[in-house]
């Protein structure tokens, strides 16, 4: 006896409505819930300070962090952060607010490690000098800027 396959959708299983960022609009007629998940195009950062590994196929494999927008079946959209390194394959699901907070923290931390402390001190001294520019004149500002720059280059405090 031949069994007929069900139609792709019935009245009880409506097709999903993909968000504009979904990179696979062809899955809207899928029946399985896991196939009704939406993903945006992803962005990947190779972790250059981590050890390069040999993957299962024998090819070199660089640990990485990948991000994308994701919406599972009947769920709210989230930011998906995938961490792939060594034996670790971790998916983190962040709200939009959490993702923005993490982005700001990463930006702040990267500024700390990419800006030498002496330059930060020099910039603060320069900003301090700029506040008094109107009272003491532009020559004072210029002298303070030169002094702050010299101190930043030599590491001196005074």
CA–CA gap between residue 101 and residue 108 (Å, rounded): 11
- pLDDT averaged per 10 residues in sequence order, the chain, 158 residues: 51 75 81 85 92 79 93 93 87 96 92 75 69 57 66 60
List, in order, residues 6 or more apart from 140 with CB less than 8 Å away.
129, 132, 133
Where in the chain are the domains?
A: 25-104, 117-154
The pTM of the whole model exceeds 0.95: no
The pLDDT value recorded for residue 101 is 95
């Amino acid at each position: 006896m031949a069994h007929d396959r069900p139609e792709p959708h019935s009245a009880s299983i409506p097709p999903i409505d993909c968000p504009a960022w979904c990179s696979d609009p062809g899955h809207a007629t899928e029946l399985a819930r896991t196939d009704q998940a939406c993903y945006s195009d992803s962005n990947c950062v190779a972790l250059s300070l981590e050890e390069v590994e040999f993957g299962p196929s024998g090819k070199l494999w660089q640990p990485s962090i990948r991000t994308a927008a994701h919406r599972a079946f009947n769920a709210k959209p989230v930011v998906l952060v995938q961490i792939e390194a060594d034996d670790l394959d971790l998916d983190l699901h962040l709200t939009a607010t959490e993702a923005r907070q993490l982005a700001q923290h990463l930006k702040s931390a990267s500024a700390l490690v990419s800006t030498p402390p002496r330059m930060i001190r020099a910039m603060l001294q320069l900003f301090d000098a700029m506040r008094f520019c109107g009272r003491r004149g532009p020559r004072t500002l210029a002298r303070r800027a030169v002094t702050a720059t010299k101190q930043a280059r030599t590491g001196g405090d005074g």
